[in-house]
Amino acid sequence: MTLGSDAVTFFTRRLRRAGSAARAAGEKAYLKSDLRFWGTGQDAIRTAVRDYCGSHPNLSRSELREIAETLYRTDVHELRA
């Protein structure tokens, strides 16, 4: 498993669980986007990022970039946020 796919697994579990179907529908309609939405708030996203970085304190800049690029290649709004 690559660093990027490990991060996708981590964030998918955390952010889906924190999401709301009603919020997801509202955000999707408001943004008029073809992306999938889980309805996760920004606070939960920031907390997940802090937790991930806290458990991986030695990530290099290139590794962080790899993770960000992998997350952005998904079709999920929250993973791109």
CB 7 within 8 A of CB 63: no
Sign (positive or negative) of CA dihedral 31, 34, 38, 41: negative
Whole-number pLDDT of residue 2: 87
pLDDT tens digits, one per residue of 9-63: 999 999 999 999 999 999 999 999 999 999 999 999 999 999 999 999 999 999 9
**Percent of the chain as helix, strand, coil, to the nearest 5:** 70, 0, 25
Whole-number pLDDT of residue 16: 98
Q: Is the pLDDT of residue 70 over 90?
A: yes
Q: Which residues 6+ apart lie within 8 Å of 21 measured at CB?
A: 39
